[in-house]
Structure 1
Amino acid sequence: MGTEESSNAGYRQVPGASQAGAARMRAAVQHRYGPPSVLKSSQIGIPRPGRGDVLVQVGAASVHPGDYFVMTGKPYVLRLVFGFRRPRHGIPGRDLAGVVAAVGKDVTALRPGEEVFGWSTAGTLAEYACVPADHLVPVPANLSVLDAAAVPTSAMTALQALRDIANVQPGQTVLVTGASGGVGSFAVQIAKAFGAEVTGVCSTRNVDLVRSLGADHVIDYTRTDFTRTEKRYDVILDNVEAQPLAAVRRTLRPTGTLIPNSGRGGRWLGPLGRIVKARVLSGFTRQQLRPFTSAEKHQDLLTLADLLATGQVTPVIDRTYPLDEAADALRYVGTGHTRGKVVITV
């Protein structure tokens, strides 16, 4: 990742940050959409917390496929949200963990020196991030900052899919494709915590990993096509979408729930075509086809913190990269073959 000076990257800076000798920080910055090579290691002003904000000294930040798509600007529909010609926020990343460096005057629940984790919409691949206080919770005592950074987006997606969309109950059968990936590795553990009988689908090299996460059954997709077996499931969380909807539906019980959860798709609309098809089909069957978009919620972050604190959920970290190698981290995420999470240390 190249190096350059930058006056800002979508941050409100500390007063005087642009003046000679003012406090600066390193950040991974992009000024245009494109491949990982668009990321540059830059020196910018440290952001200033507003009344309800917390300034976090970032210890680690995880990246996931959504970060990769936003960086590239494809599918193009993303640009309606993140900036049409160039990224509205020049610093990538949403998930982070670190230490509270300062708080705004209205913040009472967190204090300087406390370890926290959560998400930021203004970018986290930097030495400091300014985050609304309700986007953060304390790191559980049994968890490192590195592990905590791997949690927010992927674990929250798995939680909301299984609890809110599928309403998973004890004794139900749940199948998770991409079970060794970021969302999948959390989904296997969360479904087990809900009392479900869990089947994970993964490649040969990840069978032992998925079994270690608590899966009752593991299907190696290189040897067995789960859509051609006799087993039927109450819930399918499809994180890969390698099979046509019709084939996956055959594996679902007559009143079961299918949740398509892949960000892949065409260069213009991405997964929207499959989402629309799923919603249309859902109107003609007792099966529930429920694509969804996760939403960050403070209470859900607290729920995840409890699951982490009790050991029911443990993050899986594939690789770590230093901040100056953020481009390499996102390049690896873009391959679509990560085991668990990729974390950038700061």
Structure 2
Amino acid sequence: MRYVSSNSSGLVIKNHDLHPPEKDEVQIEVSYASLNYADILGIEGRYHAKTANFTPGFDCVGYIKRVSENIKDFHIGEKVAAIKQGGTFAEQVNINKNQVFKLKNNLCSRAVAANISNGVTAYDLVFHVTHIKPNDQVFIYGASGGVGSLLVQFCKYQGAHVTALTKSNKKQYVESLGADHLILRDRPANDTDKLYDRIFNPIGGESIEQDLLRLSMYGHLITYGHSSFQAGYLNTEIIHSKNLSILGYSSGSIMNDYPIKLRKTVHDVMNLVYKDKISTPIDSIYSMDEMEYAFEKMKNNRHIGKILIKMDT
């Protein structure tokens, strides 16, 4: 079995014999996996202390190849998706059953791979963490990214007014998602005095204190990442005087601590994908042998939509 690993010289493809699934595990023959920014950080050793020999891949779509003896609710040949904290950039992978989700046979595998991991995060943020309401004034960072683009769609689905931050070369794409107003990172902003009811922040660092000032009374700051690699400062005087709520979210924690909740979220997201209520365009599909081109494209931000890796041949 071939799989992708990282070392001091970059990405390498290795071979090894995958052991049979252990108790509560299924083995998946992987068709597609999506490339995420976390994969870039992982191979650089900057994602939750991932180190050398890290195998990228936080999700996959494929078919059940084997099941452990105690598994009764999954069967060989079933079409499934999975979410995992690294390791899915492989031809086969063993995954705990709580992180595996059955799919309708007529649901497009590529559409699932393009939406599942980012979709879970965005859906939970909008519907479970902060509960977006009609006419809420919402600010979204990185609106052309995997999570950001789905946040725009989910917030519009709820009737919110969305201000989206993006780059000039992705302006048309973010507008197509339904954003009401755009702020371009490479151009001066003209609405710095505007206040928001909800701000979705994946950056951390200095942006946290700035966002507290931009929140309206009773506003929510939702933090779900720290791409700046710096801790944010919370001014408790501002939080107290404006009655603000600070909300944190980690899909990895939900996966480990509340697998039943995760399963419900995946079901809801896949149902929206099936009904064409949300979508993430597929920028490109690379084979495992073309992996370095895919990583380079994402690292240099030369994509619009999702980059997929095709694992089967």
**Deviation by residue 1:106-138 (Cα, 9 ceiling, x = unmatched):** 333332222211213460111111112221223
Q: 1:279 to 1:72 in 2, by over 3 A?
A: farther
Letter in 2 for 1:256: G
The residue aligned with 1:255 is 218
Letter in 1 for 2:80: V
The residue aligned with 1:63 is 35
For 1:281 and 1:132, locate their aligned partners in 2 and report how far apart those are by CA, in whole Å. Answer: 44
Displacement, 1:279?
7.6
Whether the 8 Å contact between 2:171 and 2:182 is mirrored in structure 1 is yes
The residue aligned with 2:197 is 234
Letter in 2 for 1:305: M
Letter in 2 for 1:26: R
The residue aligned with 2:120 is 156
TM-score, L = length of structure 2 = 0.85
Whether the 8 Å contact between 1:49 and 1:104 is mirrored in structure 2 is yes
**Deviation by residue 1:198-252 (Cα, 9 ceiling, x = unmatched):** 2322122222211222223333333352661x43221111345697334333332
The residue aligned with 2:259 is none
For 1:180 and 1:142, locate their aligned partners in 2 and report how far apart those are by CA, in whole Å. Answer: 28
**Deviation by residue 1:46-74 (Cα, 9 ceiling, x = unmatched):** 34212322211111111212222222112
For 1:279 and 1:157, locate their aligned partners in 2 and report how far apart those are by CA, in whole Å. Answer: 26
The residue aligned with 2:258 is none
Whether the 8 Å contact between 1:120 and 1:130 is mirrored in structure 2 is no
For 2:106 and 2:172, locate their aligned partners in 1 and report how far apart those are by CA, in whole Å. Answer: 24
Structure 1 unmatched runs, 5+? 1-24
The residue aligned with 1:27 is 3
**Deviation by residue 1:163-198 (Cα, 9 ceiling, x = unmatched):** 232221233222212111111011111222233222
For 2:235 and 2:130, locate their aligned partners in 1 and report how far apart those are by CA, in whole Å. Answer: 15
1:331 is aligned to 2:296: yes
Q: How does 1:1-346 map to 2 (within 5 A)?
A: 25-30=1-6, 32=7, 34=8, 37-74=9-46, 78-79=48-49, 82=50, 86-87=52-53, 90-121=54-85, 123-140=87-104, 143-225=107-189, 228=192, 230-239=193-202, 244-265=207-228, 270-271=229-230, 273-274=231-232, 277-278=233-234, 283-285=239-241, 286-294=243-251, 295-296=254-255, 297-336=262-301, 338-346=303-311
Partner secondary structure for residue 290 of structure 1:
strand
Letter in 2 for 1:65: Y
Q: 1:201 to 1:106 in 2, by over 3 A?
A: same
Structure 2 unmatched runs, 5+? 256-261
Measured on the aligned residues, the alpha-carbon RMSD in Å equals 2.7
Q: 1:131 to 1:167 in 2, by over 3 A?
A: same
For 2:155 and 2:239, locate their aligned partners in 1 and report how far apart those are by CA, in whole Å. Answer: 27
Q: 1:118 to 1:195 in 2, by over 3 A?
A: farther
Q: 1:289 to 1:43 in 2, by over 3 A?
A: same
For 2:43 and 2:208, locate their aligned partners in 1 and report how far apart those are by CA, in whole Å. Answer: 29
Letter in 1 for 2:22: G
For 2:136 and 2:10, locate their aligned partners in 1 and report how far apart those are by CA, in whole Å. Answer: 46
Whether the 8 Å contact between 2:285 and 2:309 is mirrored in structure 1 is yes
Displacement, 1:139?
3.1
Whether the 8 Å contact between 1:182 and 1:339 is mirrored in structure 2 is no
Whether the 8 Å contact between 2:163 and 2:180 is mirrored in structure 1 is yes
Identical aligned residues as a percent: 25
For 2:214 and 2:303, locate their aligned partners in 1 and report how far apart those are by CA, in whole Å. Answer: 26
Letter in 2 for 1:248: D
Q: 1:140 to 1:195 in 2, by over 3 A?
A: farther
Whether the 8 Å contact between 2:202 and 2:227 is mirrored in structure 1 is no
For 2:238 and 2:40, locate their aligned partners in 1 and report how far apart those are by CA, in whole Å. Answer: 30
For 2:99 and 2:36, locate their aligned partners in 1 and report how far apart those are by CA, in whole Å. Answer: 18
